[in-house]
Structure 1
Amino acid sequence: MKRYIPNQHGAWAMLILPFLFGVAASGGHYLHIPLFVCWLLIYLFSFPLLQWVKTRRSDRYGKPVLIYGALLVPFILYMIISVPNLFWFALPLIPLFAVNVYFAKTKNERALLNDISAILAFCLMVYPVFYVGEGESWEMATSLFVLSVLYFIGTALYVKTIIRERKNPYYYYASVIYHIIMVVLGLLFWPAVAAAPLVVLLLRAIILPKTGVTAKQTGISEIGFSAMLYLVVIFCM
C-alpha cells in the first residue's frame, strides 16, 4: 500500500485545511463534494508519479499512476463541464508542480524551496473552492490563503527542526523567529482571538523540538494543530 497511500501524515492537513477555508469563506455547495474527490485524486495521483520520476521504477509506481489517473479523468471532466472557469484556477499549479518534479528528479524533495512550492499549490485551492461556492468576499478568501501559506511554511520549518535539521541550531532559530513574526502579524492584522493559535504554534516551535518527538507523532499532531486553526477561523467569521 506504500505505493498507493502517501505516508506523510502532515500532508493530509495541507490537503484538507485550505479546502475547508474555501468552503468557510463561501458557504457549502453540492459541487464541493466532487471537487474534493477530484482534489484528493490529484494528490493521490501526484504521489506515485513523483516517486516514479524519482526512482524511475515504472514497475513499482506505474500501476498506481494508471489507476489514479483513470479515476481522476471523469471527475476532472465533470468539474470542467460544470464550472468551465475552473480551468483557469489550475494554470498556476502547473509551474508549481514542475518545481516538485525537478526536485524529485534530482532526489532533493526535502529542499525548503520544494516544500514552499507544494505549500503554495495546496493553499491555492482556497480560490477554486471559494469560486465554486459562489463566495462574495475575495478579500476574505485571500486572507485565508495568506494564513494557510504562513501557517504551512512555518510548519515546514518546524518539521525540519524535528527531522532533517534537528541538529542544526540555525534552522531552530529560523523557525522560532518566523513564528514570532507570525504572532506579530496576527496581532496587527487579525482579531486578538485569531492570533491566539499563532501563539500556540510559537510554543510548539520552541518546545517540541527539544522533547524528542518522532516524525510520525509530529505529522499526526499537525492534523490537530490544523483543526485548532480552522476552528478559530470559523469562530472569528
Structure 2
Amino acid sequence: MNRYIPNQHGAWAMLILPFLLGLAVTGGHPMHIPLFIGWLCIYLFSFPVLQWIKTGKRDRYFKPALLYGILLLPILGLLVWYDPALIGYGVILLLFFLPNIYFAKTKNERALVNDILAIAVFCSFIYPVVYVGGGSDWWTATQLFALMTAYFIGTALYVKTVIREKNNPKFYLASVIYHFIYIGIAASINIYLLIPAIVLLLRAAWLPKLGIKAKQSGIAEIGFSLMLYVSVLVFFF
C-alpha cells in the first residue's frame, strides 16, 4: 500500500487545513465536494509520479499513477464544466509542479526550497475554495494564506530538526528563531493568535530534545494543525 498511500503524515494536514479555512471564509457549496476530491486525487497522483521520476521504478509506480489519473480526469472535467476559470488555477499548479519534478529527478526532494514551494501550493488551495463558494473576502483569504504558509514553513524547519538535522545545533537555533518571528506574523494578523503561535514555539524548542521519531512528529502535526484551525475559528471570525 505504500505505493498508493503517501507515508508523509504531516502532508495530510497541509492537504486539509486550507480547505477547511476556505470553508470558514465562504461557507459550504455542493461543488466543494468534487473540488476537494479532485484536490485529493491530484495529491495522490503526484506522489507515485514523483517517486517514479526519482527512482526510475516504472513497474512499481505505474499502476498507482494510472489509477489516480483515471479517477482524476472525470473530476477535473466536472470542475471545468462548472467553471472554466478553474483552468487558470490548474495552470498555476502545473507551473509549480515543474520544480518538484526537478528536485525529484536530482533526488533532492527534501530541499528546503522544494518544501517551501510545495507549502505555497498546498496553502494556495484556499483561493479556489473561496472562489467556488462564491466568496469575495479575498483579504481574509490572503491573511489566512499567509498564516498557513508561515506556519507550515516553520513546521518544515522543525521537522528537519527531528529528522535530517537533528544533530545540527545551528539548524535548531534557526528553527527556534523562525518561530519567534512567526509569533509576530500571527499577532499582526490577529493578536489572539499569539496563543497558538507560542505553543508552536514551545513545540519547536522542546520536542526535538525528546528524540521523537519522524512518524510521531508527523502525526503530532495533525494535532497542531487542528489547534491552529480551531484558534482561527474562535479568534478570527
TM-score, reference length from structure 1 = 0.98
**Alignment of 1:35 onto 2:35:** yes
Structure-1 residue corresponding to 2:194: 195
**Alignment of 1:10 onto 2:10:** yes
Partners of 1:55 and 1:120 in 2: CA distance? 25
What is the 5 A alignment of 1:17-166? 17-166=17-166
Residues 15, 122 of structure 1: 8 Å contact kept: yes
- Quote the RMSD (CA, aligned, Å): 0.8
Partner secondary structure for residue 92 of structure 1: helix
Deviation digits for residues 128-155 of structure 1 (CA, Å, limit 9, x no counterpart): 0010011121000101111110000000
TM-fit CA distance, 1:185 = 2.4
Structure-1 residue corresponding to 2:212: 213
Partner secondary structure for residue 153 of structure 2: helix
Q: Which amino acid aligns with 1:79?
A: L
Residues 10, 222 of structure 1: 8 Å contact kept: yes
Partners of 1:17 and 1:191 in 2: CA distance? 18
**Alignment of 1:168 onto 2:172:** no
Residues 51, 104 of structure 2: 8 Å contact kept: yes
Residues 14, 123 of structure 2: 8 Å contact kept: yes
Structure-2 residue corresponding to 1:230: 229
Give unmatched runs, 5+ long, in structure 2: none
Deviation digits for residues 86-132 of structure 1 (CA, Å, limit 9, x no counterpart): 11122222221111110100011111011011101101101000100
Residues 147, 185 of structure 2: 8 Å contact kept: no
Partners of 1:7 and 1:78 in 2: CA distance? 29
TM-score, reference length from structure 2 = 0.98
Q: Which amino acid aligns with 1:154?
A: G
Q: Structure 1: which 4+ aligned runs deviate by more than 4 Å?
A: none
Q: Which amino acid aligns with 1:25?
A: V
Q: Which amino acid aligns with 2:7?
A: N
Q: Which amino acid aligns with 1:118?
A: A
Partners of 1:151 and 1:185 in 2: CA distance? 9
Residues 89, 127 of structure 1: 8 Å contact kept: no
Q: Which amino acid aligns with 2:193?
A: A
TM-fit CA distance, 1:186 = 2.1
More displaced 10-residue stretch of structure 1: 218-227 or 77-86: 77-86
Q: Give the % identical residues.
A: 59
Partner secondary structure for residue 104 of structure 2: helix
Partners of 1:37 and 1:197 in 2: CA distance? 29
TM-fit CA distance, 1:81 = 0.4
TM-fit CA distance, 1:61 = 0.3
